[in-house]
């Protein structure tokens, strides 16, 4: 059977499974909608948390980043993995013991302030919308290649599916759907990795195959380094970033991901605090399977790509190349008119994305309207690394289709979690806690579902019409979470003296300086564009790493302001004391 037939079969089976679970686990109360009734087992929650954590960015994007950035891409691997460890060990059990549904709920009650709650709501909505738009776009990309539909049509299909089980089941439906989605995505990620590792090195373990020798006796990483340097690239295992910048980027990713609300909320779905700790351990194990395999896939993919396309006449290029060319995610322009593909440093295009002519070139290629003056003739979108790798390696069609199903599972699982954060931020934190405290449980549930509908429509719009600065906004989202949520949560747990004045001023100061820096050096919205370059970075810190500085500013100002203002009320200090006591930590406290 062909790739498209296999894709219809596997994607159809998985989608039917997700929808069936949503119908079976329909939520009937706000507690079931928000936290699945608080009765999820640690193992199931660990699987669901892993699926929630590993979005399209992890499944599709991370291996692509590492493949094309080499050593420098390791900051994402370290930052995202370290962020989860930090969240699981430092924050999750204490937040679970506090007994609130959401991060804004925790901040609002801990700091006895609706102003603090509102700041947290705004931050949660911004971070969540940034990520959910990316997931919707990822769904569209997968569908456009494997189902031969327009990207926009793929986004519409993804919107309908995720809305169905998020609208019906809330956290209850999402949790059990994510258990199934983890099984699909990890199987889809590992099977091609094992096949390619066997083909390249004879070792079935990708993590070991990456460092093994091939049939020619040359170690794979040495071979890749040689290919890179021969073509003018920096050696794959060498980095170009300074150690300070690597540290600050890694720290910003760690603190930012540790403050992501859609992952934190997962630890409220288990019955007891000790179950939150167990589920964190399970999730770390399940996450490690994918995260330790991603660098291996990156090495295999970059090696296969370079060996396949370099100096290959376009008329002899494999079918997978022209298929991806039709999506606009791979492009070639014959700058030296020799009919062969030349892959070299530098962007092949004058702009970020290819703009195609309606006519074909003399070699049959889709002509690019905006080629750059660089030698490089090949444009490859990083996000196709995982999806195209099985095709490049000539694996069976069913494996190629399986990867498509896995990519959809990764994108949809995270999208559902983010949509729940958006709906609960509006229905619970804004309406129930601030606008209409007397609202009934039934009306609150209705508002939550309607908020999910609006959130899906907004996310779908940005998935179909992504702003030109999406990559920059993602960096802003991590910085925003690091400079706002993380200090407020940590100090709220570990400092009885921290009060609302300190928390609010700290969050606002951290957000302000982080937004300014990224707006100036990443987006170019502030100041002279000529000074928005790397040589003008403060202390040599990139915009991606400046969230760490914002976090330090938040901590400093919060501690200073709280030390010179009135201490929190006695009952708040007692709450802080209680959530830090391990003994008797069976059930969440009631207050």
Q: pLDDT digits over 139-163, tens only?
A: 777 777 666 677 778 788 877 777 7
237, 316 Cβ separation under 8 angstroms = no
**Pair of tokens at residue 391:** 């095709």
Domain ranges of the chain: 17-302+395-467, 305-384
State residue 590's pLDDT score.
44
**Pair of tokens at residue 314:** 């376009």
**Whole-number average pLDDT of the chain:** 80
Return the closest-CA partner of residue 132 out of 261, 286, 280, 294.
261
State residue 173's pLDDT score.
63
Q: Residue written as tokens 């609002």?
A: 108
As a 3-state breakdown, the chain gives helix, strand, coil percent values, each rounded to 5, of: 70, 5, 25
Task: Please list, in sequence order, all residues whose beta carbon lies within 8 angstroms of the beta carbon of residue 269, skipping any fewer than 6 positions away.
Answer: 35, 36, 38, 39, 40, 45, 48, 171, 175
Residue 285, exposed/middle/buried by CB under 10 A (0-12, 13-18, 19+)? Answer: exposed
Beta bridge partners of 340: 313
**Does residue 460 carry a pLDDT above 70?**
yes
Q: pLDDT digits over 489-513, tens only?
A: 899 999 999 999 999 999 999 988 9
Measured CA to CA, the distance from residue 251 to residue 396 in angstroms comes to: 40
**Pair of tokens at residue 484:** 């706002």
Q: Write the DSSP assignment of 169-196 as a string of letters.
A: HHHHHHHHHHHHHHHHHHHHHHHHHHHH
Task: Please list, in sequence order, all residues whose beta carbon lies within 8 angstroms of the beta carbon of residue 351, skipping any fewer than 6 positions away.
Answer: 370
367, 356 Cβ separation under 8 angstroms = yes
**Pair of tokens at residue 396:** 């069976």
State residue 165's pLDDT score.
60
Task: Please list, in sequence order, all residues whose beta carbon lies within 8 angstroms of the beta carbon of residue 123, skipping any fewer than 6 positions away.
Answer: 480, 481, 484, 485, 507, 511
Share of the chain above pLDDT 70, in %: 86
Measured CA to CA, the distance from residue 58 to residue 76 in angstroms comes to: 10
135, 418 Cβ separation under 8 angstroms = yes
**Does residue 367 carry a pLDDT above 90?**
no
Class of domain 17-302+395-467: mainly alpha
Residue with more model confidence, 269 or 188: 188
Beta bridge partners of 313: 340
Measured CA to CA, the distance from residue 413 to residue 118 in angstroms comes to: 27
State residue 591's pLDDT score.
42
238, 5 Cβ separation under 8 angstroms = no
**Does residue 27 carry a pLDDT above 60?**
no
Question: Which of 32-36, 73-77, 126-130, 426-430 bottoms out in mean pLDDT, i.e. has the lowest?
Answer: 32-36
State residue 585's pLDDT score.
44
**Pair of tokens at residue 572:** 């708040």
Q: pLDDT digits over 196-227, tens only?
A: 898 888 888 988 888 888 777 888 888 888 88
What pTM did the predictor assign?
Answer: 0.79
């Amino acid at each position: 059977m062909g790739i498209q037939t296999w894709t219809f079969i596997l994607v159809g089976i998985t989608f039917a499974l997700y929808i069936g679970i949503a119908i079976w686990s329909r939520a009937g109360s706000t507690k079931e909608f928000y936290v699945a009734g608080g009765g999820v087992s640690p193992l199931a929650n660990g699987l669901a948390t892993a699926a929630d954590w590993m979005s399209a960015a992890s499944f599709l994007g991370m291996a692509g980043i590492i493949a094309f950035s080499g050593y420098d891409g390791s900051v994402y691997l370290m930052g995202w993995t370290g962020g989860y460890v930090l969240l699981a060990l430092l924050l999750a059990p204490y937040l679970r013991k506090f007994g609130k549904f959401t991060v804004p709920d925790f901040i609002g009650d801990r700091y006895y302030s609706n102003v603090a709650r509102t700041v947290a709501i705004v931050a949660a909505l911004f971070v969540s919308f940034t990520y959910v738009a990316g997931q919707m776009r990822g769904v569209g990309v997968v569908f456009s290649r494997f189902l031969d539909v327009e990207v926009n049509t793929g986004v519409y299909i993804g919107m309908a599916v995720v809305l169905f089980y998020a609208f019906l089941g809330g956290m209850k439906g999402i949790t059990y759907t994510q258990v199934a989605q983890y099984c699909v995505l990890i199987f889809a990620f590992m099977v091609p990795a094992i096949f390619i590792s066997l083909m390249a090195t004879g070792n079935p373990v990708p993590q070991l195959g990456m460092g093994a020798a091939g049939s020619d006796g040359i170690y794979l990483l040495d071979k890749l380094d040689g290919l890179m340097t021969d073509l003018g690239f920096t050696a794959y295992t060498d980095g170009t970033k300074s150690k300070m910048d690597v540290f600050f980027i890694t720290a910003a990713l760690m603190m930012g991901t540790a403050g992501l609300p859609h992952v934190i909320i997962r630890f409220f779905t288990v019955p007891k605090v000790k179950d939150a700790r167990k589920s964190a351990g399970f999730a770390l194990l399940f996450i490690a399977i994918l995260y330790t395999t991603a660098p291996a896939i990156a090495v295999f993919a970059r090696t296969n790509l370079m060996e396949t396309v370099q100096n290959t006449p376009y008329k002899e290029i494999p079918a997978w190349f022209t298929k991806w060319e039709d999506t606009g995610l791979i492009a070639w322009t014959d700058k030296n008119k020799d009919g062969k593909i030349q892959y070299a440093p530098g962007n092949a295009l004058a702009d970020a994305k290819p703009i195609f002519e309606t006519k074909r070139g003399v070699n049959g290629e889709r002509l690019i309207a905006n080629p750059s003056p660089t030698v490089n003739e090949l444009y490859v979108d990083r996000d196709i690394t995982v999806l195209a790798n099985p095709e490049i390696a000539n694996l069976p069609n069913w494996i190629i289709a399986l990867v498509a199903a896995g990519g959809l599972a990764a994108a949809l699982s995270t999208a559902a979690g983010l949509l729940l954060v958006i709906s609960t931020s509006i229905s619970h934190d804004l309406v129930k806690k601030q606008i209409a405290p007397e609202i009934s449980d039934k009306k609150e549930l209705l508002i939550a579902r309607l908020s999910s509908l609006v959130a899906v429509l907004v996310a779908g719009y940005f998935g179909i019409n992504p702003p030109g600065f999406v990559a920059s906004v993602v960096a802003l989202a991590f910085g925003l979470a690091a400079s706002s949520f993380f200090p407020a949560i940590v100090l709220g747990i570990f400092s009885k003296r921290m009060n609302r004045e300190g928390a609010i001023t700290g969050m606002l100061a951290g957000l302000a300086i982080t937004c300014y820096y990224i707006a100036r050096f990443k987006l170019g919205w502030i100041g002279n564009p000529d000074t928005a370059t790397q040589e003008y970075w403060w202390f040599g810190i990139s915009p991606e790493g400046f969230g760490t500085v914002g976090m330090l500013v938040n901590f400093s100002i919060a501690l200073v302001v709280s030390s010179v203002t009135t201490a929190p009320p006695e009952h708040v200090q007692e709450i802080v004391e209680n959530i830090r006591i391990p003994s008797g930590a069976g059930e969440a406290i009631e207050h």
